[in-house]
A and B are shown apart, each in its own frame.
Chain A
């Protein structure tokens, strides 16, 4: 069963605007971590942000923030003040504590930032 769902295959956003990328997850493990990765056209996987299941506050890293709603099992990524260099594929991923570090990845959302 799909554990990570990203429902937005692609999005356009104008430069300097904010964009929210949706991610919902499914787990019965009380301890887990949620991650967002960026994959530009060059192909490498770039870690953006992490949220632990026991974290009380939403994670933030520069222009990235994670809107964590535990009861709804959602972990949306917000990119503020979009830049042209933000154009990339974005993946949501989950690592359950009882999984030997294995990640479950979503299908990704392609973001295109326009001038």
Chain B
């Protein structure tokens, strides 16, 4: 099983450029999440989805957009990149959202630098 696949692993963007971070999972998980991790910090939620066609904002959604047209894919779109969006981005998925201990399956992350 591939689990959660994120592409690209690294990217350098110029200010004002746009890009899409791809996230695909093959576990048939309904719940998917995008987090960002700034240097030396914990993860903060950008957007999440509870199923195909349903998305909602997290803690830090400004400057990002998402879509969820299929169960497998949950791309994150950056429009007009800014230096403040320099971060490591993690996609994660989950089978359940209760208190059970299954936790997330994380992707390997995308390291984005905006210059």
The chain A residues found within 8 Å of chain B, CB to CB, are 4, 6, 31-33, 35, 43-45, 47, 50-54, 91, 95-97, 99-103, 105-108
- CB<8 Å pairs between A and B, sample of 14: A31-B99, A35-B101, A44-B109, A45-B104, A47-B103, A52-B101, A97-B98, A99-B97, A100-B31, A100-B56, A101-B94, A102-B58, A103-B33, A108-B41
Q: What chain B residues lie within 8 Å of A101 (beta carbons)?
A: 31, 33, 48, 50, 94, 96-97
The complex places the Cα of A86 from the Cα of B18 at a distance, in Å, of 38
CB of B45 within 8 A of chain A? yes
> Of residues B88, B96, B100, which shows the largest number of chain A Cβ atoms within 10 Å of its Cβ?
B100
Judging by beta carbons under 8 Å apart, are A50 and B101 in contact?
A: yes
| Given known contacts A32-B99, A105-B42, A107-B42, A45 and B90 CB-to-CB distance under 8 angstroms | yes
| Extra 20 A-B pairs, beta carbons < 8 Å, given A47-B103, A52-B99, A107-B41 | A4-B42, A6-B42, A32-B99, A33-B99, A33-B100, A33-B101, A35-B103, A43-B109, A43-B111, A44-B106, A45-B90, A91-B43, A96-B99, A97-B99, A100-B31, A100-B48, A101-B50, A101-B96, A102-B48, A108-B40
Judging by beta carbons under 8 Å apart, are A103 and B106 in contact?
A: no
Q: Nearest Cβ in chain B — how far from A26, in angstroms?
A: 15
Q: What chain B residues lie within 8 Å of A45 (beta carbons)?
A: 90, 92, 104, 106, 109
The chain B residues found within 8 Å of chain A, CB to CB, are 31, 33, 35, 40-45, 48, 50, 56, 58, 88, 90, 92, 94, 96-101, 103-104, 106, 108-109, 111
Judging by beta carbons under 8 Å apart, are B88 and A102 in contact?
A: no
Closest residue of B by beta carbon distance from A30? B99
Q: What chain B residues lie within 8 Å of A54 (beta carbons)?
A: 99
CB-CB nearest 4 A-B residue pairs: A50-B101, A101-B97, A105-B42, A45-B106
Judging by beta carbons under 8 Å apart, are B43 and A52 in contact?
A: no
The complex places the Cα of A45 from the Cα of B88 at a distance, in Å, of 12
Q: What chain A residues lie within 8 Å of B94 (beta carbons)?
A: 101
Q: What chain A residues lie within 8 Å of B33 (beta carbons)?
A: 101-103
The complex places the Cα of A95 from the Cα of B45 at a distance, in Å, of 12
Q: What chain B residues lie within 8 Å of A107 (beta carbons)?
A: 40-42
